[in-house]
Amino acid sequence: MHSPDSIRRFLFEHYPVRGYVVHLDSAWRAACEPTDYRPEVQQLLGEALVSATLLAATLKFEGTLTLQLQGPGPVHLLVAQCTDRHAIRGVARYRGEEIGAGSGGQLRQLAGEGRLSVSIETNAQTARYQGIVPLSGGDLAGCLEAYFASSEQLPTRLWLAAEADRAAGFLLQRVPDHERAGVSDAEVDELWNRVGHLAATLTARELLDLSEARLLRRLFAEDDVRLFSPTPVFFQCRCSRERVTGLLRSLGEPEVQSILDERGSVEVRCEFCNRAYAFDRIDCAGIFRAPESTQASVRLQ
Ligand SMILES: [Zn+2]
């Protein structure tokens, strides 16, 4: 049995090659619980959440990493986030009627000719883009490999799998090799190519089902691989009444007033966790009476 809801690092002894294995179980089920996704969309969201977890493990930052897919296709927006503490959440917005039968969940058919962006919001709430890559065919793993090649300049290979009750991912990365001792570039090239070919034989079923140790033994039986202890990954939403208040404030008083006139109260439901925030007339009046200085822009994502 794999370590549930966890990420585990491994490395090849004496070589500048490392990797990670992610398994999402209850964290994944909690993340997709608020929405009744179509299977193709759910699979893409699962792969994106696994990807965000792998990216968060490989990049050094404090805050929240956001993987965002945007495109003209049926899945027009998909957001997957992972914090430096490995708290995940995600949401996909899509037009189900546009997903053709037998699309097979191909990224290009779901998202169209869109783009994939990776950004990091630090705790000071400033977002900085790490990189953007076009969805130029292939799958999500292929797009992320292109991201690593262009933005991080680290040769990286990824394998992703997701189904209704769990999701998993596997990453191999060749890192700058200043710490290695007594291994030539040619030997590192040879190992990198060999382990890439071996990992390419990994099936989605094996990735989802095998324990981390068995998976590594199955792929790299001849190599000296060190597997580290699991780090927990969990579902956690960052929404709060304060953030929703900021959102209403940025909508402006006339807009909020028109919702009040129409419905008698304002209800905002968080897309990530389905939590509802209700504001009556008195609450809304209070929002717009607040002093100017607190009117900072607040982002929901
Ligand atoms: Zn929420």
CA of 156 to the centre of ligand 1 (A): 32
CA of 246 to the centre of ligand 1 (A): 14
Q: Which of 158, 31, 37 is nearest to 96 (CA)?
A: 37
- pLDDT value at position 230? 97
CA of 126 to the centre of ligand 1 (A): 20
What's the one-letter identity of residue 225? V
CA of 10 to the centre of ligand 1 (A): 33
- pLDDT value at position 60? 84
**Other CB atoms within 10 A of residue 85 CB:** 13
CA of 237 to the centre of ligand 1 (A): 5
Residues of the chain below pLDDT 70:
101-105, 125, 137, 178-181, 290-301
- Give residue-wise pLDDT tens across range 220-267: 999 999 999 999 999 999 999 999 999 999 999 999 999 999 999 999
CA of 102 to the centre of ligand 1 (A): 33
- pLDDT value at position 296? 47
CA of 81 to the centre of ligand 1 (A): 12
CA of 270 to the centre of ligand 1 (A): 5
Q: Which residue has the tokens 């090799």?
A: 177
CA of 269 to the centre of ligand 1 (A): 8
Quick one: CA dihedral 239, 45, 145, 55, positive or negative?
positive
CA of 189 to the centre of ligand 1 (A): 45
Tell whether pTM > 0.85. yes
CA of 298 to the centre of ligand 1 (A): 14
CA of 252 to the centre of ligand 1 (A): 22
- H or E element in which residue 16 lies: none
Quick one: CA dihedral 209, 211, 215, 218, positive or negative?
negative
CA of 116 to the centre of ligand 1 (A): 23
